[in-house]
Amino acid sequence: MAGGGDPKWQKDASDQNFDYMFKLLIIGNSSVGKTSFLFRYADDSFTSAFVSTVGIDFKVKTVFRHDKRVKLQIWDTAGQERYRTITTAYYRGAMGFILMYDITNEESFNSVQDWVTQIKTYSWDNAQVILVGNKCDMEDERVISFERGKQLADQLGVEFFETSAKENVNVKSVFERLVDIICDKMSESLDSDPTLVAGGPKGQRLSDPPQAGPNANCNCGK
Amino acid sequence: MFGNLDKLHTGWSSGKPTGTLQPEEKMAILEVIQRNELLETAERQRVGRLVERVEKIKQRAAECGPRYCRLCGQSFGLLGPSKLICDDCQKPVCSKCSIELHSRETTGTRDIWLCKICSETREMWKKTGAWFFKGIPKYEIPQQRTSSSRQSFRDSKLRQEKPVKLGIKCTDTSSEEEDESTTEVDAQKHSTAVLNGRSSYCSAFNVGGNRKHPLVNRQNSATDTQSNQTNYDWETASISTTNRNGRRGSVTSSMSMSETSSANSSNGMGCYREPCFGWLELSVNYSEADHTLDCSLLRARDLPTMDVTGHADPFCKTNIITPYGSKQQKWFATKTVHKTTNPEFNEKVRFLGVEPDELINGSMLYVVILDDDRYGHDFLGAAKINLAPIYSSGPHRMTVPLDVEDNFCVEAAMSGPWLFGQILIALCYNTKRRSLIVRIDKCTNLMAKDKNGFSDPFVKLQMRPDSQKKKFKSSIKWRTLNPIFNEEFAFETRPNDLDKQLLLLTVWDKDLGKSNDFLGSLILGGNSKGRRLKQWKDCIRMPDCFHEQWHCLSGEHIPN
């Protein structure tokens, strides 16, 4: 898989010099451009050739935001349904989701609601979501207007960006915004609920959920 | 793969996808999982380090009760730091041990104070992601730097457990000492091992009412079955360690989330480290040929503070305690290391004429750490080292937790003559009279300045600064070195001013026809140390009742 032997990846992955670690997940229908989006952000590279992602992959990138070093582990998921049992297993650890559709693909836009349901089902309830309409460089083939995208985002109560991994439009902004939202949520959750930190019975309540990990739901290896 | 093609959709379908994965797909996914595993391992260790950091701060906290700063243990009051309440734990804390923070809430921002523990805990919650998961994620406590053999043993143990299951084995940690920290398994394995700090564990952990040093036992019951008793204590030691691991185990349970660390601290943490006296590092060696016992007092750590600046002036007094009492009449004293709670003594003491049976029959090396002050030597901590294992297995270097005060500590503190005697005084701030009432109770062991072998003592008192510039004199007690006065004197002052005032006492021998002889002095105030500081602050904090305390007199003249 991409990135495995990449020295840059190794450097980033082994780097322990950071303050926060955020796990992000990119989801959306197959071929909306999730992998390209991630490659553009992590490696600043782009290829038009379509290679379907097998199950899952991730890349690591450390960013500097508000005087804090934030290490991002960004999961790229396969859009194909047959991998869904694998991909949903990683929802639980994710603090942020980039929900992506293709502005030239009506079906991918129509599936957004289903993806939201997936997030609600499998992720922690305070996970943050950004809606992204990708391939905005292909204006000629556009079928989903910016307004429709924006309207859906408002309806879902999430932020909205139109991006192009190919032309490198808004790619960085999406990640930066998501990091900011998570940072805000972090300060908010600690300030508004200090009893959380102080302990007490509250902490135990959450020790119940089953572990989210490759082994929890994965039947691929058996 | 192609057989499932009809089930491949880019969108959504009802029913569960049933496609099985091809070998190359499995390989690809496994590779990602493995890469993730590396990252997760590093992350668990990082979280472990963050957790450990907070745990260490918690361990160092004084936690002496509501009247003292949770962290540094300073008492509050007009002379001490002002009292703040931590917004998270609601415990009192001084301004030095807390930070002010702008807290954002739904109602807007507000300024709050957080003690160092809670602010570090918040930070830890952010950094570990616990804020998101509402509990600290799984973690591994970093390995201790230990002896090579044990290290490799643990490593191999960890390696066995590492793959896929991710059940985290937590090895002991929290303590800073290197050799003494043991896992449960270690403790059992080495239970036959001799004094390797484990005897000190006994004393550290059995702080409850029934705690007894094997040697103390033997002192009471003469020549009893010593080996049994020693064994008993080894066992207690290993049980204590087990408890400790049990406690940690609950933090790192195999569940995905663990209890919050503070909850954990409330049910276990405080009890075995309180009261906290710090640690002493020393090495001991016995030479059977020369009948000498060499003891190197290396350093002490985390000693209690004795003054408002958070310092102490520690020194050690050491002796061998045999079943019949202290071996040397004079306790050996080290030099004082000033203005520190982590002194480096690096002094060697050699005890001559130490017979082998003395060691076997239950002597112990006793090290008392005291605070050096001209008005008395306040107790900082005591270390008791069983010498039997030293005899049987050669030199030892160890770090032992310091223990509470007992009779030997008093003996040590009072050994070496206090030339100028002692004075018993009581202080009371009377809110009705708006005055500090000083009651001079009595003096003992004053110096003899007259030819008849006695003195004719009286006490002079004044406050400095004092707007009234009042000076008092007690009556003269003729021909005595242990006068009883029971006289009260009142200085008009406000509690706020007491903060900056000093009470000066001098004791004099009345001589007719020539100038009086100086017998001793004592200064009490907010910059006093130890017992004197405590009396002064108690008097401010709890007005309208008398606070009585013995003090040693100093030979220093107080300039006018």
Instruction: Look at residue B247 in the predicted model and tell me its pLDDT.
Output: 35
- Return the residue of A nearest to B114 by Cα: A194
| Contact check, Cβ <8 Å, A204/B263 | yes
Instruction: Look at residue B476 in the predicted model and tell me its pLDDT.
Output: 93
Distance from CA of B355 to the nearest CA of A (A): 55
Considering only CB atoms, A107 lies closest to which of B11, B25, B105, namely B11
Considering only CB atoms, B21 lies closest to which of A107, A204, A220, namely A220
| Contact check, Cβ <8 Å, B104/A85 | no
Q: Rg (Cα) of chain A, in Å, rounded?
A: 18
Instruction: Give pTM, 2 decimals.
Output: 0.46
In the 8-state DSSP scheme, what is residue A51? -
Instruction: Pick the residue of B117, B123, B256 with the most A CBs within 10 A to test the interface with A by mutation.
Output: B256
Considering only CB atoms, A29 lies closest to which of B10, B17, B132, namely B10
Residues of A in contact with B35 (CB under 8 A): 3-4, 13, 58
10-residue averages of pLDDT along chain B (560 residues): 43 53 85 89 88 82 75 73 79 82 68 83 86 82 50 40 36 38 40 37 36 37 38 36 35 32 34 57 86 89 82 89 81 88 89 83 87 83 84 77 80 73 90 90 89 91 87 92 92 86 92 88 87 87 87 82
Please tell me if residue B118 touches chain A, with a CB cutoff of 8 Å: yes
| Contact check, Cβ <8 Å, B257/A206 | yes
Quick one: which of A193, A71, A180 has its CA closest to B134? A193
Distance from CA of A132 to the nearest CA of B (A): 17
- Return the residue of A nearest to B35 by Cα: A4
- B 160-219 near A (Cβ less than 8 A): 164-166
| Contact check, Cβ <8 Å, B256/A126 | no
Map tokens 């910059």 to a residue. Answer: B527
Helices B116-128 and B23-60: crossing angle, nearest 10°?
A: 180
| Contact check, Cβ <8 Å, A57/B7 | no
* Other CB atoms within 10 Å distance of the CB of residue A7: 7
Residues of A in contact with B266 (CB under 8 A): 199
As a whole number of Å, the end-to-end CA separation of chain B is 101
Please tell me if residue B135 touches chain A, with a CB cutoff of 8 Å: yes
Angle CA(A21)–CA(A27)–CA(A28) in degrees, nearest 5?
165
| Chains A–B, number of C-beta pairs less than 8 Å apart | 167
- Return the residue of A nearest to B257 by Cα: A207
Do A162 and A138 meet the contact criterion of CB atoms below 8 Å apart?
no
| Contact check, Cβ <8 Å, A198/B118 | yes
Instruction: Look at residue A176 in the predicted model and tell me its pLDDT.
Output: 92
Considering only CB atoms, B31 lies closest to which of A1, A29, A201, namely A1
Alpha helix ranges (H) inside B415-473? none
Distance from CA of B61 to the nearest CA of A (A): 16
Q: What SS3 state is found at A212?
A: coil
Question: Which ipTM was obtained for this model?
Answer: 0.80
Residues of B in contact with A85 (CB under 8 A): 17
Do B28 and A54 meet the contact criterion of CB atoms below 8 Å apart?
yes
Q: How far apart are CA B85 and CA B95, in angstroms?
A: 10
Instruction: Look at residue B483 in the predicted model and tell me its pLDDT.
Output: 93
Residues of B in contact with A94 (CB under 8 A): none
Residues of B in contact with A29 (CB under 8 A): 10-11
Q: How far apart are CA B529 and CA B547, in angstroms?
A: 16
| Contact check, Cβ <8 Å, A196/B125 | yes
Considering only CB atoms, A206 lies closest to which of B125, B126, B135, namely B135
Q: How far apart are CA B66 and CA B277, in angstroms?
A: 19
Please tell me if residue B89 touches chain A, with a CB cutoff of 8 Å: yes
Residues of B in contact with A1 (CB under 8 A): 28, 31-32
- Return the residue of B nearest to A185 by Cα: B132
Please tell me if residue B478 touches chain A, with a CB cutoff of 8 Å: no
- What residue type is B302 in one-letter code? D
Please tell me if residue B122 touches chain A, with a CB cutoff of 8 Å: yes
| Contact check, Cβ <8 Å, B104/A221 | no
Please tell me if residue B25 touches chain A, with a CB cutoff of 8 Å: yes
- What residue type is B68 in one-letter code? Y
Distance from CA of A167 to the nearest CA of B (A): 25
Residue A91 contacts by C-beta under 8 Å, 6 or more apart in sequence?
Answer: A25, A118, A119, A122, A123, A127, A212
- B 367-426 near A (Cβ less than 8 A): none
| Contact check, Cβ <8 Å, A206/B259 | no
SS (H, E, C) B496-517: HHHCCCEEEEEEEECCCCCCCE
Residues of A in contact with B13 (CB under 8 A): 81
Considering only CB atoms, A82 lies closest to which of B8, B38, B260, namely B8
Distance from CA of A159 to the nearest CA of B (A): 20
Q: How far apart are CA B84 and CA B76, in angstroms?
A: 9
Instruction: Pick the residue of A190, A205, A217 with the most B CBs within 10 A to test the interface with B by mutation.
Output: A190
Quick one: which of B385, B386, B381 has its CA closest to B403? B381
Q: Is the dihedral of CA B132, B135, B138, B140 positive or negative?
A: positive
Distance from CA of A171 to the nearest CA of B (A): 24
Helices A112-122 and A146-156: crossing angle, nearest 10°?
A: 30
| Contact check, Cβ <8 Å, A86/B29 | yes
Do A27 and A134 meet the contact criterion of CB atoms below 8 Å apart?
no
- Return the residue of A nearest to B23 by Cα: A221
Please tell me if residue B346 touches chain A, with a CB cutoff of 8 Å: no
| Contact check, Cβ <8 Å, A79/B266 | no
Show the low-confidence residues of chain A (pLDDT under 50).
1-10, 199-222
Considering only CB atoms, A207 lies closest to which of B32, B39, B255, namely B255
**Strand locations in B419-470 (E):** 422-430, 435-444, 457-464
| Contact check, Cβ <8 Å, B261/A199 | yes
What order of strands is seen across the sheet that includes strand B435-444?
A: B484-492, B435-444, B422-430, B547-552
- Return the residue of A nearest to B135 by Cα: A203
